Amino acid sequence: MSDIEKPINFIQEVINTDLEAGTVKKVITRFPPEPNGYLHIGHAKSICVNFGIAEQYGGGCNLRFDDTNPEKEDEEYVNAIIEDVRWLGFQWQGNICYASNYFEQLYAWAQYLINAGSAYICELNANEMREYRGTLTEAGKNSPYRDRPATESLALLEQMKVGEIDEGTMTLRAKIDMASPNINMRDPVMYRIKKISHQRTADKWNIYPSYDFAHGQEDAIEAVSHSICTLEFAANRPLYEWFVANLPLPSRPRQYEFGRLNLNYTITSKRKLKQLVDEGHVAGWDDPRMPTISGLRRRGVSAQSIRDFCDSLAVAKTDGVVDMAQFEHFIRDDLNNNGRRAMCVLNPLLVTLSNCEQDEEFTVPGHPSRDDLGERKLPFGAQIYIDRNDFSEDTSLARKKFKRLVMGDYVRLRGAYIIRADDLVRDASGEIIEIIGSLVPDTVGQDAPEGIRPRGVIHWVSASQSADCKVKLYDRLFNKAAPDTGEESFLEHINPDSLNIIEGCKAEIGLADAVAGDHYQFEREGYFTRDSDSDTLVFNCTIGLRDNWKS
């Protein structure tokens, strides 16, 4: 289906209406992550929606960091987010924006609301504020400080700002409606005291704005026309609109919400992902088992497959859970089309070909249907490695059941000769350590001679000219479709077999120069990329050739 034929979503309908009515001249969106962790696959959908909408309408998308909570934020996260957005193939308009760029203006607007009688300094502590707020079925009650004179609130706010007031003793609250059925409107906190150094403003501020107070005003400063959020912010929209209506802003942005991406067998809470990292359940934010964009990148998932997956999802007003198999379909499809072919023997067994008289080199395609991916050279000699699982002593095995090498029978080597297994060499314990075999002459690229019928085709590498490597096989991090439901901790559903490290693997020699980020299909094994976090030759399995997961 072409882009023209795709049905438009409700956000596009809104934008089309705004453009036709002339209420919007240029479509400006924004992606506003808080730098308190790495981005994950759920953020990828938001990135694709916000940047994609801007691209579609010839507008722009701002990358803005909501750095209003220095207690949990770090420059490491800022840099990781920038890298992720750029790697996904998107470019923000202008310079990167930060909430901290607007701290002076936000403070001035806070003073404006106090002077207008719409904000006040409250001295209720956190527990008292919770009691006064009421419940979903009971109205709240006014703070005893709600009618504090503006001059007094202004003076106290300044004292809070310069660090003269202790943390937890005062907040600045908007004066809205303590009986509102929407708890977010019951005099929400605009500023709280946090005597913590900020990664960009250092120790200049001792108070920091809440996200709800900063969000809409940042949008207004940046002339955002359509502030597109995920559905959990729907209840915050009336507050967003209240601030927009009650402040002298340079523009009047609007907020719209769509369903977030929820993927089964996955956790996307940044707090819980951080817990996995901090407690050592994974090797870091970019562990290839993590649903973070950096983890997916290190695992070998391409940016294009993530974008294609996100673009396939509905932009709707409801939440839903997407099956992991749907995401994996896009990964496989992309890698099948774009991954270079290669051979790697994970469990090597030596084969000596008694009648091989000279070394050779075969030329094979880099991809069976992509001439642009070139060719590769395969050295061949008297000794090769095949996978131990591709050999059996059991001569009674039916050909339909075991299409590999059997004693006294034939098999074809991928891109090379037909060979036969003639004899075995065992160690003192009786384990097979070598196959003595023979090759059938003139069978490279040729049909088998009359009377010889190979069982199948297997992969191999040269014993003398191969690359020693390690392979990491990954499975889903959780073995429960909804690991974050139920009374038990999500940690109890960590899959103990999510990582299997195989040492002593043998790869075709050309893979010695493999680059992290390049994609390979190891024939009959899966799709792999070189690990970016290792000085030695290590390959991460991106995904298997087919879905073997049993729910």
Query: How far is the C-alpha of 335 from the C-alpha of 345, rounded, in Å?
Result: 20
pLDDT for position 2: 44
Would you place residue 187 in the very low, low, confident or very high pLDDT band (cuts 50, 70, 90)? very high
- The CA-atom distances, in angstroms, between 395 and each of 401, 407, 423 are 12, 6, 13
Q: What is the DSSP letter of 69?
A: -
Residues 324-339, mean pLDDT to the nearest whole number: 96
**pLDDT per residue over 483-515, tens digit each?**
998 889 999 999 999 999 999 999 999 999 999
Distance CA 122, CA 114 (A): 12
The string of pLDDT tens digits covering residues 22-55 is 999 999 999 999 999 999 999 999 999 999 999 9
pLDDT score at 547: 76
Instruction: Determine which one of 34, 83, 158, 241 is catalytic.
Output: 34
Handedness of CA 108, 201, 88, 234 (dihedral sign): negative
- Nearest alpha carbon to residue 224 among 216, 214, 213: 216
Residue 305 pLDDT > 80, yes or no?
A: yes
pLDDT at 549: 57
Cβ-based neighbours of 256, under 8 Å, separated by 6 or more = 10, 11, 14, 226, 227, 228, 229
Which residue reads 């962790």 in tokens? Answer: 37
pLDDT at 7: 82
Nearest-angstrom CA–CA distance, 100 and 279: 31
Q: What is the largest CA-CA distance in the chain?
A: 103
Nearest 5°: phi and psi at 232? Answer: -65, -15
310 pLDDT exceeds 50?
yes
Taking CA atoms, 398 is separated from 233, 391, 394, 406, in Å, by: 61, 13, 10, 10
Paired strand residues for 534: none
pLDDT band, residue 1 (cuts 50/70/90): very low
Query: How many angstroms separate the Cα of 402 from the Cα of each of 389, 393, 434, 452?
Result: 10, 11, 20, 17
How many other β-carbons are positioned within 10 Å of the β-carbon of residue 40? 24
In contact, 159 and 165? CB cutoff 8 Å: yes
Q: What average pLDDT score do residues 49-66 get?
A: 97
**Which structure tokens are listed for 334?**
């992309």
Token output for 418: 């037909």
Element (H, E) at 132: helix 126-133
Question: Would residue 71 show up in a list of annotated catalytic residues for this protein?
Answer: no
- Grouping H, G, I as helix, E, B as strand and the rest as coil, residue 378 is strand
- How does pLDDT run across 168-177, given as a tens digit for each residue? 999 999 999 9
**pTM: predicted TM-score of the whole model, two decimal places:** 0.93
Mean pLDDT (the chain) is 95
Superfamily of domain 270-340+469-543: Ribosomal Protein L25; Chain P (2.40.240.10)
The rounded distance, in Å, linking the Cα atoms of 390 and 525 is: 12
Q: Do domains 10-258 and 344-459 have the same CATH topology?
A: no
Neighbours of 444 (CB within 10 A): 16
CA–CA separation, 412 vs 458, rounded Å?
A: 6
List pLDDT tens digits, range 403-455.
Answer: 999 999 999 999 999 999 999 999 999 999 999 999 999 999 999 999 999 99
Rounded CA gap, 508 and 215, in Å? 54
Give the sign of the dihedral formed by CA 447, CA 452, CA 455, CA 457.
negative
Token representation of residue 289: 């088992």
Sign of CA dihedral 523, 527, 529, 535: negative
Assess if CATH 3.40.50.620 describes domain 10-258: yes
User: DSSP secondary-structure letter at 53?
Assistant: H
- The dotted CATH code for 344-459 is 2.40.240.10
Q: pLDDT tens for residues 253-294?
A: 999 999 999 999 999 999 999 999 999 999 999 999 999 999
The catalytically annotated residue of 161, 175, 186, 270 is 270
- Residue ranges of domains in the chain: 10-258, 270-340+469-543, 344-459
* Catalytic-residue membership of 161: no
Cα–Cα nearest to 460, from 422, 411, 495, 496 = 411
CA distance 405 to 437: 10
Q: Considering the chain, what percentage of its residues have pLDDT values greater than 90?
A: 95
| 270 in catalytic set | yes
Task: Please state the rounded mean pLDDT for residues 329-342.
Answer: 97
Number of C-beta neighbours around residue 523 at 10 A: 18
DSSP state of 71: T
Using left for φ > 0, alpha for ψ between -120 and 50, and beta otherwise, residue 236 falls in: alpha
Both tokens of residue 294? Answer: 């950096």
Host H or E run for residue 172: strand 171-174
Q: Is the pLDDT of residue 550 over 60?
A: no
Q: For residue 76, is pLDDT > 60? A: yes
Indicate which residue of 194, 260, 388, 524 is catalytic.
260
Query: What residues form DSSP beta bridges with 29?
Result: 61
- Average pLDDT (123-140) is 95
What one-character-per-residue DSSP string does 216-244 give? HHHHHHTT-SEEEEEGGGGGGHHHHHHHH
Residue-level pLDDT at 49:
97
**pLDDT of 124 strictly over 50:** yes
Rounded to an integer, what distance in angstroms lies between the CA atom of residue 179 and that of residue 181? Answer: 6
